[in-house]
């Protein structure tokens, strides 16, 4: 069970934070382009998913799976978007992402007066708390490859 990487976006598409633990393959484009691509995808998928939903009251886009990885998505009502890529053995981590938002992002980014909203988070404390949080999850194992 492993976590590959994580993105945090605000509602305007700014990537506020990116971290990777076990990423084995790069996307082949610049990091900026990658963020734009990821955000664009999230926007399109969310809109597609709700439009094509055959039932009412759908929660919306939650995750997608390929044969190699699973992308998990969590969005707050304030438009903050959390994306985590893991391997396929990880189930629904909606609660974990919710905790990541409330225990790490709100505590160490939002409540930090030195952090300006909409900018990438650069606080070392945030970085280490987030790292600690992810590493502390049951589904995280670091494989040396």
Partner 1 sequence: MARQAARGPDPRKVSNELFTLTYGAMVAQLVKDYEHDDEVNKQLDKMGYNIGVRLIEDFLARSGVGRCNDLRETADVISRVAFKMFLGITPVVTNWSPAGDEFSLLLENNPLTEFVELPDGHSQLNYSNILCGALRGALEMVQLDVTVWFVQDQLKGDSISEIRLKFNKRLEDAVPAGED
CB of 72 to partner 1, least distance (A): 18
Contacts with partner 1 by CB under 8 A lie at 11-13, 36, 39-40, 43-44, 76-80, 98, 101-102, 105-106, 110-111, 117
* Residue 112 or 128 with smaller CB distance to partner 1: 112
CB of 110 to partner 1, least distance (A): 5
CB of 144 to partner 1, least distance (A): 34
CB of 12 to partner 1, least distance (A): 6
* Residue 13 or 127 with smaller CB distance to partner 1: 13
- Closest to 107 (Cα-Cα) out of 90, 132, 85, 84: 132
* Residue 25 or 51 with smaller CB distance to partner 1: 51
Spatial separation of the C-alpha atoms in residues 122 and 23, rounded to whole Å: 21
* Residue 19 or 110 with smaller CB distance to partner 1: 110
**CB atoms inside a 10 Å sphere around CB 48:** 11
Residues in the chain: 145
């Amino acid at each position: 069970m492993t976590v590959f990487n994580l993105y945090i976006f605000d509602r305007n598409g700014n990537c506020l934070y990116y971290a990777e633990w076990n990423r084995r393959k790069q996307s082949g484009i610049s990091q900026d382009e990658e963020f734009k691509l990821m955000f664009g995808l999230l926007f399109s998928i969310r809109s597609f998913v709700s439009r094509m939903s055959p039932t009412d009251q759908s929660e919306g886009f939650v995750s997608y799976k390929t044969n190699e990885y699973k992308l998990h998505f969590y969005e707050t009502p304030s438009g903050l978007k959390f994306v985590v890529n893991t391997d396929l053995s990880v189930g629904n981590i909606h609660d974990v992402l919710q905790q990541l938002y409330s225990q790490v992002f709100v505590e160490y980014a939002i409540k930090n007066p030195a952090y300006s909203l909409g900018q990438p988070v650069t606080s070392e404390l945030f970085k280490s708390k987030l790292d600690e949080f992810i590493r502390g999850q049951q589904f995280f194992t670091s494989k040396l490859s």
